[in-house]
Amino acid sequence: MFGYVRYDMPNLFIKDFSLYKAMYCGLCKSIGASCGQMARMGLSYDMTFLSALLHNMTGTDVKIERQNCFEHAIRKRPIACVDGLTEELGAFNTLLVYHKLSDDERDGEKKRGRRLWFGRGYRRAKKRYPALTALVEEFMREQERAERAEETSPDRAADPTARMMRDVSRHFLGEKASESSDELFYALGKWVYLIDALDDYDKDKKKGGFNPFVRTYGSADKKTLMKEHGDDVGFLFDTLFYSLREGLSGVKFFFNRDLTDNVLLRGIPLETMRVMNGDAPVKMSVRI
């Protein structure tokens, strides 16, 4: 589920890149504050993006200060200050990591050690944010049911994760949630699920793990899938991009939206093309 939300570097302003880095470090500290130091290992760009998006949509200003952290103990760097929203997002990150590892373990992967590593953080998140935990766990159960169902398709299989993202956005946005934000987050959740499934096509085909693309099309490998059903797969993502754009156009932002627009309108389509073409992941780190 993690690691696909990326920005499009050549079209990212330096101010936004600096903000993203500060928010990445801020989220790391927030995970430490809400779930303990061990849970910081689950930090992801995906959640950093969500943090940037939700701060903007809720009108929560990001305060940046020069601070130290254990990775940058000597030289201070700009880091977004910990706030209530980031702490809860840190807990959301920990809940997702823990469930992802549990899911992998159920699929026969050797993830027990890693799951236990996040166990304490998961328990802290559960205790501190019961409503968020209940929401995540309800959709995790629905996801499991959807993957066991006889009748499946990429649309159906992605629905629980997409609805989870929609409901999580409602949870964070409160009165600021709207039909447009629902559409935006549903599309985002659906994309996250489907891009992961498409990327894992060969692995799931070989190991027999659930994959909606394998179940629907059954091609021998991803390359063949794209050759035989590329138009169908393209249609699935293209309508999703339409939905993302539609949702985005109706959402109210309180601050500059260049960073989130870069990810949603450029980074996500580019990452989709990369996975569809079977190219290697692009390195995210840049020193400026």
Burial string for 219-242 (b: 16+ CB within 10 Å, else e) reads beebeebbeebeeebeebbeebbe
Applying CB under 8 A, which part among 32-40, 123-131, 203-211, 280-288 lies near other proteins? 280-288
Copy the structure tokens of residue 31. Answer: 């995970």
Among 1, 2, 3, 11, binds other proteins (CB under 8 A): 11
Specify whether the CB–CB gap between 237 and 191 falls below 8 A: yes
Please report whether residue 6 would count as binding other proteins according to CB under 8 A.
no
- Mark 7-40 as b/e (b = at least 16 C-beta within 10 Å): bbeeebeeebbebbbbbbbbbbbbbbbbbbebbb
E strand or H helix at 80, and its extent? strand 77-80
Residue 202's CB is within 10 A of a number of other CB atoms, namely: 16
Out of 1, 9, 41, 81, the only residue in the binding site for other proteins (CB under 8 A) is: 9
Does 237 sit near other proteins (CB under 8 A)? yes
18 touches other proteins by CB under 8 A: no
Half-sphere CA count of 217, side-chain side, radius 13 A = 25
Closer to other proteins by Cβ: residue 94 or 243 = 243
Does 142 engage in binding with other proteins (CB under 8 A)?
Answer: no
Q: Is 229 in the site for other proteins (CB under 8 A)?
A: no
Are the C-beta atoms of residues 1 and 192 closer than 8 Å to each other?
yes
Distance between CA 272 and CA 196 in Å, rounded?
Answer: 10
Both tokens assigned to 47: 């959640």
Q: Which of 68, 239, 249, 256 binds other proteins (CB under 8 A)?
A: 239
What phi and psi values does residue 51 have, to the nearest 5 degrees?
A: -65, -45
- Of residues 104 and 155, the one with the C-beta less far from other proteins: 155
Question: Residue from 156, 170, 215, 257 that binds other proteins (CB under 8 A)?
Answer: 156
Q: Nearer to other proteins by C-beta: 128 or 156?
A: 156
By CB under 8 A, what part of segment 174-203 binds other proteins?
A: 183, 186-187, 190
20 scored as a contact of other proteins (CB under 8 A): no
Q: How far apart are CA 90 and CA 84, in angstroms?
A: 10
Supply the minimum distance, in Å, between the C-beta of residue 24 and other proteins: 16
Site for other proteins in 101-140 (CB under 8 A): none
Residue 242 is a binding residue for other proteins (CB under 8 A): yes
Question: Using the rule CB under 8 A, is 8 a contact of other proteins?
Answer: yes
User: How far from the centroid of its chain's Cα atoms is residue 79's Cα?
Assistant: 21
Residue closer to other proteins by CB (options 123, 245) is 245
Residue 272 binding other proteins, by CB under 8 A: yes
The residues of the shown chain that bind other proteins, judged by CB under 8 A, are 8-11, 14, 153-156, 159, 162, 183, 186-187, 190, 232, 234-243, 245, 265-266, 269-270, 272-273, 282-283, 285-288
